[in-house]
Amino acid sequence: MENAASFDLNRRIEQWRENLAASPSFRGENLDELASHLRDSVATLQNRGLSADEALLIATRRIGADGVLAAEFGKVNQSAVWLDRFLWILIAFQVWRIISSASVFATVAAAVLAMNINGLLPGLGLRQFSDSFIQVTVALLASPLTTAVGLVIAWRFCTRPREKLRSIFSRLLLRPWALTLVLFACGVIFGAGSVWVLANWLYPVLYHQNLSYTGLRMLLTMPLPQFTILALLTLFVARKRLRTSKA
């Protein structure tokens, strides 16, 4: 009985600690100290005859609400808070590039499809639209639409993440190398993909000739130095952020 109760208490204190750990305001050591305080407080209250449940309830209330604690600790651990923000800016920027590359891909695909359908219209006895009309229409519709869809997906991931995705992401945040590589790889693949569809799908349809874009040339047309600098910066900030929060 005693064992079961204390096991539950440990788990509840762990949970409380994990909730706080979600905020960048706390260092690992801060959480150790707060958890130690909570245990002392619970023990004192239990000695006065309260149940583990009641004691924990009062002790967490006395120690302060999560948001209030995060705000106060954030003032002392400002560098950790800023590192966290900077990392999120870097991640958001790279995700934005991936989304816009995907948007280029979708727009080109839509334009090529529309032009091919347009080419079939005379055969069906219908009037054909001019290519430039199709391109402008598709660009006006498809580009903002696909960007919006990408942003909505990203927004949903941030506000209402699926458990599995969330755990993958939080594990990535703890592994700077993996995080950097994933973002870099996605950036290059989507970037190269968008260049590829421009060269191999859109260009032949527009100019009726093939641009022989080999893999190497494709890579050279991308802003690789920029990608590399971004990746190095992400790696640096993610590692520094981990070190600061563990200190």
Interacting residues with other proteins (CB under 8 A): 29-30, 32-34, 36-37, 39-41, 44, 62-64, 68-69, 72-73, 75-76
Residue 11 or 162 having the CB closest to other proteins? 11
Q: How far is the CB of 231 from other proteins (least distance, A)?
A: 34
Q: How far is the CB of 73 from other proteins (least distance, A)?
A: 5
DSSP sequence for 53-89: HHHHHHHHHHH--HHHHHHHHHHHTHHHHHHHHHHHH
Residue 57 or 151 having the CB closest to other proteins? 57
Q: How far is the CB of 41 from other proteins (least distance, A)?
A: 6
Q: Which DSSP category does 175 fall into? A: -
Residue 82 or 169 having the CB closest to other proteins? 82
Q: CA–CA separation, 71 vs 24, rounded Å?
A: 10
Q: Which residues, in sequence order, are CB contacts of 46 under 8 Å at separation 6+?
A: 52, 55
For the record, the structure tokens of 12 come out as 């509840």
Q: CA–CA separation, 101 vs 95, rounded Å?
A: 10
Q: CA–CA separation, 80 vs 173, rounded Å?
A: 14
Q: Which residues, in sequence order, are CB contacts of 101 under 8 Å at separation 6+?
A: 187, 190, 191, 193, 194
Q: How far is the CB of 102 from other proteins (least distance, A)?
A: 43
Q: How far is the CB of 36 from other proteins (least distance, A)?
A: 6
Residue 70 or 90 having the CB closest to other proteins? 70
By residue count, the chain amounts to 247
Q: How far is the CB of 240 from other proteins (least distance, A)?
A: 19
Torsion of CA 177, 87, 77, 42, to 10 degrees: -70
Residue 73 or 105 having the CB closest to other proteins? 73
